[in-house]
Amino acid sequence: MPEQHSFEYDFVIIGSGFGGSVSALRLAEKGYRVLVVEKGKWHRAEDFPKTSWNVRKWFWLPALRFFGFFRLSFFRHVTVLSGAGVGGGSLVYANCLQTPKRDFFQSDSWVHLADWENELMPFYKNGAKMMGANPNPRLEIGDKALQTLAKKMGKEDQFEPTNVAVFFGEQEKTVPDPYFNGEGPERSGCVFCGGCMVGCRYNAKNSLDKNYLYLAQKNGATIKSQTEVFDVIPLNGSDGAGGYKIGWRSSTSVFRKKGELRAKNIIFAGGVLGTIPLLLRLKKRSLPDLSERVGYGVRTNSESLMGVVDYKKKHIFSDGIAIGSILHTDQFSHVEPVRYSAGSGFWRLIMSPMSHGNHLYSRLFSILWDAVIHPLQNLKMLFVDDWAKRTQILLFMQTVNSTLRFSMGLFGLKSTLDEGKKPTAFIPEANSLMREFAEIVDGKPGALLSETILGRPTTAHILGGAVMGRDHTEGVIDRDNRVFGYKNMWICDGSMISANPGVNPSMTIIALTERAVSKITAKR
């Protein structure tokens, strides 16, 4: 077995999103030598695009030399929106830090493993403090319209401002760190421009590089960006007790520089689209004892994304924060108004009138018929002056327990149906809510072409694929995030989520990771 000094690091963490960032800080605080490996780039406020039309700065497409922080991935059953860069999904997410309802903690898929609600609540509270969570102080036109809808439904008490990771200080005024007794970076007050998901250019968004990662570095952690891990090999034995040799390569350079390092422990934290394909490849090579359940139990949070376009140009929907309110329509369902900053009209390219139906031909007929009977509306919708300014997106989520399986195909990761009904873009309740919302704001409902044409839902919250279980026949990791079949190995990212939260999952990833790392003893 190698001596301790033969390892460059005690822990190598693959990925710098919510799970990786939490792990980095807590392990550095415990005295460990920590390296965080991140495929994406560092992004400063001035690096973010002014609008989504600047696709070179917004999209992560290395093959085209686009090194932004937003990824769009297409699978047979779902289209996935995700993040890339130091800070992971926190760079592109809508700041929401919601705690799931009780049904999530009592889901049959994992309730037998722990009393999750009681065990996790202290970690939810601590995570919210670390992220600077506070209620949105301003309701905008879209939020007020949702509140009106809540009244019509008799559910006004189920409407509330979102808890968000935003610094609401004096607008554009820079102040010393307001969160960590001066140990954190300077911050500036939110300007309510709606640009949270295009990258905050005003230093108001509490992304992970301004809290967990920032403090991890102050505690000695190292962050290696623009680097991709492609190999993990156990040293001196097959179970990882002797540590791991980790192969890495550049993710942005043309010549793909490679290297390797050694670490006693490893944490996979690259998110579903990073961790799962890597584990599937490693299972065929250096980690054959990984559970056969790798790739199973993938969840989409049962989402539907729709938009209402104000083609009459009476309202401005782009003011505010990305998601300012939420309505709990029933025990299992939630809807949120989502916005982009004025000028960020990229999604205009793939929008169409709302359509529904079980077959492609019926949906195409519905779109064409709508164009025939409402030609002027559709023209105005298509050529509206500023898509983001005139469009209110609605995000509908449910705690429906159907799952997919991700596996490696000829052209990379592919999806197949695992359990339950396949994900669908046509959720009757979501469509009904959209039409009622459209009536309130006097707009026209629309949806993404990938949903209306292909019937394929879009999700920003892909989860699962390395879920928890009693043993390797039921899951990939145990209740404490330790990987079955190997020692000194953990998974701490969205792939560990073993039930549908039904709300934005960031806080749940933080809480589960805080819990898992709390069980690792301090370095002696």
**Which residues are known to be catalytic?**
461
Contacts within 8 Å (CB) and 24+ apart, 372-379: 374/444, 377/311, 377/444, 378/353, 378/444
The whole-angstrom separation of Cα 277 and Cα 293 is 13
The whole-angstrom separation of Cα 145 and Cα 283 is 50
> 431, 421, 429, 435: which is closest to 452 by C-alpha?
431
By three-state DSSP, how is residue 205 classified? strand
Rg of the Cα atoms in the chain: 22
Residue 252, CA distances (Å) to 16, 61, 75 in order: 17, 10, 24
| 445, 353 Cβ separation under 8 angstroms | yes
Tell me, what amino acid is at 89? Answer: G
Q: Which two tokens stand for residue 24?
A: 């980095």
Could you give phi then psi for residue 5, rounded to 5 degrees? -70, -10
Burial 20-41 (b: 16+ CB within 10 A, else e): bbbbbbbbbbbebbbbbbbbbb
Look at the block and give the residue holding tokens 């044409």: 453
Could you give phi then psi for residue 519, rounded to 5 degrees? -85, -5
| 432, 354 Cβ separation under 8 angstroms | no
Query: Residues 6 or more apart from 301 whose CB is under 8 A from it?
Result: 397, 398, 459, 461, 463, 500, 501, 502, 505
Torsion of CA 50, 56, 62, 67, to 10 degrees: -30
